[in-house]
Chain A
Amino acid sequence: MDIALGKEDLAFAERMRSFFRTEIPAEIRAKGERGEHVSREDFVTTQQILNAHGLAVPHWPMEWGGQDWTALQRHIWAEEMALAHVPPPLAFNAAMVGPVIATFGSEELKQRFLPPTANLDIWWCQGFSEPNAGSDLASLTTRAVRDGDSYVINGQKTWTTLAQWADWIFCLVRTDPEAKKQLGISFVLVDMKTPGVTVRPIRLIDGGYEVNEVFFDDVRIPANQLVGEENRGWDTAKFLLGNERTSVAGTGIIKARIARLKKVAAETRSHGKPLLEDPLFRARLTQLEVETTALTMSVMRVLANEAKHPGTPDPVSSVLKLRGSELQQEATELLVDVLGPAALGYRETAGVSEGFTALPDGAVDAMPTYFNWRKASIYSGSSEVQRSIIARAILKF
């Protein structure tokens, strides 16, 4: 793959690689490498180190901590971070609300929110989906009614990732119920401590606690927490969802997972030999590696195209989410296959009682991650939505 990169980009990759592997605490990276849960504190520590070196929000405007990088460099940054098992900057801050405030927010909002958002002093969560607004996001019904200098919000959000750790939530709310679907929506910022905000956990099939329902009962927020113009929130949401189209491929995550499962497969016996030498297993693995390499190259093509013809929609970018999520899932499933019976027990930690054999790497997280990662082909535009987008692009109807 290096053959596709120029000398300068290879040097840039080397610089990123060595930074991530020397500046981020080894115990945090080791958790990522072993698939263990990374704590809130680990995320904050990491993002603050990155931010101190100008590496937390490189895609932001330079005056707010961004870097004058090419799209390819940003891709290399993200990929090397994943390969070094560094917990990435919180997407809700770095990739979502930050760029939105920087682009649509008033000077006052920028001053107030951008520095703590980059530094993860504020932990954001995303209030977009609702029980009846999933793929059809614009059908959302959470209401915000203007009342003097305030908005009063009533309704419910769902699938709110890590709301239990969040300080603030950015929401799409309906401000004009009479207007056509997309036209009556606004983008607002809500402090989670505001009276009337209630968080209820949703247990997922992996046994973990990652997402929540968030209820709004007469939640009163200052009107200056509106971002952009009233009723123009859909533009903001489209901007947010269209950001960094190549990161959805997750090629760094896939490669890190493949490298890990190959290590475990080399240490697992099957028919008296390392599983890695089993022809059938190796064939599945190799096909996954080939398709991941193709995806990586597709990312490169989208990046090269973006650099050369900025702003033109590239239908290949729809391929990235579709194939990326599928390959992430395949890598997850393959680790389960490597572990066999060792993957079956539900455990909170990798510790074992005295006298028992230590667990192989993956015994704790392989199966839960397999269950959990079914989400990847559902969120951010399900695979079916992606196929519809591609079909519309090629059939032109």
Chain B
Amino acid sequence: MDFDPTDEQRMLAETVNSLLDKRYDPVSRLKLLDSELGWSRELWQQYAQLGLLGLTFDEQYDGAGMGGAELATVMESFGRSLVLEPFFATVVLGGTLVSQAGTPEQKSAILPRVAAGELLLAFAYAEPGTRWSQTDIATTAVRSADGDGDGWTISGEKIAVLGADSADTLIVSAVTPDGIGLFLVDAAAVSVDAYAMQDGQRGGDVLLADAAGQLLGTSADAIDHISAVIDVATAALCAESIGVCERMLWMTVEYLKTRVQFGRPIAVFQALQFRAADMYVALEQARSMALLARLSLDDDDAAARQLTVRAAKIQVDLSSRQIGQESIQLHGGIGMTMEYPVGHYFKRSAVIGKTFADTSELIELVGADGGLIG
């Protein structure tokens, strides 16, 4: 039993961190946030050169062939720096969906271009009027009447689509006679109401009105693929959240030691010490579950894997909510400002807490499956 990173993972983290330490100081990040695109295409190319954009893809598709542990390494680093580039949308969600569900032709057409930084993806699954269900959806896909029968026509509305503003190709879930299918849709075929998410990452709502699409893979029953990809992506979010929480804790610790009131650094006050100690406890409990989540990705039992990943996100979200709220409280007024970084971490952790499923939903799902003990 050895949970220390391998040399390869350590090097990967060092490489990513040293790039981000140079490029993601708070001032540069604020500038990116306010820019029209909201992120940097130049950095995107650097990620491509480092092999990050094909990190988990098979080597035959120009990927690095790495696994969940390496993905977690990168995500944790991205969390530390609050990276704005659409890595999660394009590589983690889009790339994993294509890797899992795509035909060899689709993989050849898409994955090398993603890895090279030439193609951006987005996964459109959530819909207005529902919350966390991936199956309770109204978007429909029907086979196109014309052509050779390979084409589909998709209609419906998707919300909160991360990366929808800049994606070249959308992967859209839609109801078919055979089940919930996944469809590749050209961004030009849909209308996008683009906006910045609450944490500054870009996205938007998507309207599909008889949009032409291509079935991803060969079956229109893709729910198992969707679940598997959400497991991978949830474990990745857990890792990102650890990076986010770590920064919030250490920024708070630094602040307590340097902020002077009543003639003393406020770290001497036990009321504040205990709150900081509880933040540490919350962080370590979250770290343990983020670790378990990425270990469970290797579990061949899909139900066990899903249960563990969901349980992990419950702990990570509970912890990050506590750490986030406390870090603002312990900073006092300065924590409320956009100028000071801690609030940005808090915002990211709040958005992660509402991605795929929130705490109440996950608790209900894990409980309904019989729980983890006994």
A263 at the interface (CB under 8 A from B): yes
Interface size class of B (residues with CB under 8 A): 35 or more
B262 at the interface (CB under 8 A from A): no
Residue of B nearest to A251 (CB): B373
CB <8 Å contact, A298 and B285: yes
Of residues 240 to 265 in A, which have CB atoms within 8 Å of B's CB atoms?
255, 258-260, 262-263
Most B CB contacts (10 A, CB to CB) among A72, A260, A286, A303 go to A286
Distance between Cα atoms of A6 and B2 in the complex (Å): 10
B126 at the interface (CB under 8 A from A): no
Partner of A316, one of B2, B284, B367, B372: B284
B230 at the interface (CB under 8 A from A): no
Q: Mark A1-15, 1 if CB is under 8 A from B, else 0.
A: 101111001000000
* Contact A397/B315 with A1-B292, A301-B291 known, Cβ cut-off 8 Å: no
CB <8 Å contact, B371 and A387: no
Of residues 335 to 374 in B, which have CB atoms within 8 Å of A's CB atoms?
360, 363-364, 366-368, 371-374
Of residues 1 to 51 in B, which have CB atoms within 8 Å of A's CB atoms?
1-4
* Residues of chain A lying within 8 A (CB to CB) of residue B289: 290, 293-294, 297
Residue of A nearest to B310 (CB): A290
A24 at the interface (CB under 8 A from B): no
Of residues 296 to 332 in B, which have CB atoms within 8 Å of A's CB atoms?
296, 298-299, 308, 311, 314-315, 318
Residue of A nearest to B265 (CB): A397
Most B CB contacts (10 A, CB to CB) among A260, A293, A388, A393 go to A293
* Residues of chain A lying within 8 A (CB to CB) of residue B368: 282
Most A CB contacts (10 A, CB to CB) among B268, B289, B308, B373 go to B373
CB <8 Å contact, B291 and A394: no
CB <8 Å contact, B1 and A9: yes
Partner of B371, one of A72, A289, A305: A289
CB <8 Å contact, A391 and B276: yes
CB <8 Å contact, A323 and B367: no
A166 at the interface (CB under 8 A from B): no
CB distance from A35 to the nearest CB of B (A): 15
Distance between Cα atoms of A1 and B305 in the complex (Å): 11
Main secondary structure of the interface of B (DSSP, over half): helix
Of residues 236 to 285 in B, which have CB atoms within 8 Å of A's CB atoms?
249, 253, 256-257, 267-268, 270, 273-274, 276-278, 280-281, 284-285
* Residues of chain A lying within 8 A (CB to CB) of residue B135: none
CB <8 Å contact, A4 and B295: yes
B288 at the interface (CB under 8 A from A): yes
* Residues of chain A lying within 8 A (CB to CB) of residue B295: 3-4
Partner of A387, one of B253, B274, B314, B373: B274
* Residues of chain A lying within 8 A (CB to CB) of residue B4: 304, 308
CB <8 Å contact, B371 and A304: no
* Contact A255/B288 with A291-B315, A323-B281 known, Cβ cut-off 8 Å: no
CB <8 Å contact, B371 and A285: yes
B74 at the interface (CB under 8 A from A): no
CB distance from B231 to the nearest CB of A (A): 13
Of residues 145 to 173 in B, which have CB atoms within 8 Å of A's CB atoms?
none
CB <8 Å contact, B292 and A297: yes
Distance between Cα atoms of A322 and B282 in the complex (Å): 11
Residue of A nearest to B299 (CB): A3
CB <8 Å contact, B315 and A4: no
A101 at the interface (CB under 8 A from B): no
Partner of B288, one of A72, A263, A289, A294: A294
Partner of B267, one of A279, A301, A388, A397: A397
B180 at the interface (CB under 8 A from A): no
Distance between Cα atoms of A301 and B249 in the complex (Å): 20
Partner of B364, one of A6, A283, A397: A283
Distance between Cα atoms of A255 and B368 in the complex (Å): 19
B286 at the interface (CB under 8 A from A): yes
Residue of A nearest to B1 (CB): A304
CB <8 Å contact, A289 and B273: no
CB <8 Å contact, B276 and A395: yes
Most B CB contacts (10 A, CB to CB) among A304, A386, A394 go to A394
Of residues 301 to 360 in A, which have CB atoms within 8 Å of B's CB atoms?
301, 303-305, 307-308, 315-316, 319, 322-323
Residue of B nearest to A331 (CB): B373
Partner of A3, one of B257, B273, B288, B292: B292
A292 at the interface (CB under 8 A from B): yes
Most B CB contacts (10 A, CB to CB) among A292, A304, A390 go to A390
CB <8 Å contact, A395 and B273: yes
Residue of A nearest to B369 (CB): A286
* Contact A315/B280 with A387-B273, A394-B253, A395-B273 known, Cβ cut-off 8 Å: yes
CB distance from B249 to the nearest CB of A (A): 8
* Contact A395/B3 with A315-B280, A323-B285, A390-B281 known, Cβ cut-off 8 Å: no
Distance between Cα atoms of A283 and B367 in the complex (Å): 7
Distance between Cα atoms of A301 and B290 in the complex (Å): 12
Distance between Cα atoms of A51 and B3 in the complex (Å): 33
A287 at the interface (CB under 8 A from B): yes
CB distance from A249 to the nearest CB of B (A): 11
CB distance from A90 to the nearest CB of B (A): 27
CB <8 Å contact, B277 and A394: yes
* Residues of chain A lying within 8 A (CB to CB) of residue B256: 395
Distance between Cα atoms of A301 and B360 in the complex (Å): 28
CB distance from B360 to the nearest CB of A (A): 7
* Contact A290/B253 with A258-B374, A391-B273, A395-B267 known, Cβ cut-off 8 Å: no
Distance between Cα atoms of A387 and B282 in the complex (Å): 12
CB distance from A36 to the nearest CB of B (A): 20
* Residues of chain A lying within 8 A (CB to CB) of residue B292: 1, 3-4, 293-294, 297
* Contact A3/B274 with A263-B374, A283-B367, A395-B267 known, Cβ cut-off 8 Å: no
* Residues of chain A lying within 8 A (CB to CB) of residue B2: 304, 308
A-B contacts, 7 of them at CB < 8 A, read A3-B299, A286-B367, A290-B315, A294-B289, A301-B291, A391-B276, A394-B277
